[in-house]
């Protein structure tokens, strides 16, 4: 009985270790804001959205701009953290299935959206450059 229990614990430990190894990690590159494309059953694919981004908040603003251009969601990543952007909110987590911390509260998001719409209108509908962003927390 003891041997079966030990074997079961070893198998379970191995399965958990494999699951942890296969969990997606966000890219670590300094100052790069990534867009995440997801295909069911596959690991996330990262494509560079912008370089020279100062912080996670500014990356979230760029991803929100993508959403405002008509995307239902615009998930991304910045320096090891995932960013999730959809109609319900803008949040961040270390892992895709981890606890998601809010980046903007609803009133902050409304203010960000107004400014983004102004910037994109002035740019003929194009996304703002990372250099144009300087989010000021109040």
Q: What is the pLDDT of residue 28?
A: 95
Convert the pLDDT of each residue in 63-109 to its tens digit.
999 999 999 899 999 999 999 999 999 999 999 999 999 999 999 99
To which residue do tokens 């090891």 refer? 80
And the tokens for 41? 């059953």
And the tokens for 28? 């670590």
Q: How many helices (H) and strands (E) does the chain have?
A: 3, 6
11-20, 22-31, 57-66 — which one is most confidently predicted on average?
A: 57-66
pTM of the model: 0.79
Structure confidence at residue 20 as a pLDDT band (50, 70, 90): very low
Convert the pLDDT of each residue in 22-54 to its tens digit.
468 999 999 999 999 887 888 889 999 999 999
């Amino acid at each position: 009985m003891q041997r079966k229990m030990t074997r079961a614990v070893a198998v379970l430990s191995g399965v958990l270790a494999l699951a942890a190894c296969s969990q997606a990690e966000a890219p670590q590159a300094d100052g790069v804001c990534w867009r995440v494309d997801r295909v069911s059953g596959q690991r996330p694919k990262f494509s560079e959205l912008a370089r020279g981004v100062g912080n996670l908040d500014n990356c979230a603003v760029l991803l929100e701009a993508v959403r405002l251009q008509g995307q239902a969601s615009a998930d991304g990543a910045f320096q090891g953290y995932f960013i999730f952007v959809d109609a319900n909110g803008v949040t961040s987590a270390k892992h895709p299935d981890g606890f998601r911390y809010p980046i903007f509260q609803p009133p902050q998001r409304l203010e960000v959206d107004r400014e983004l719409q102004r910037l994109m209108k002035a740019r003929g509908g194009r996304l703002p450059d990372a250099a144009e962003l300087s989010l000021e927390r109040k």
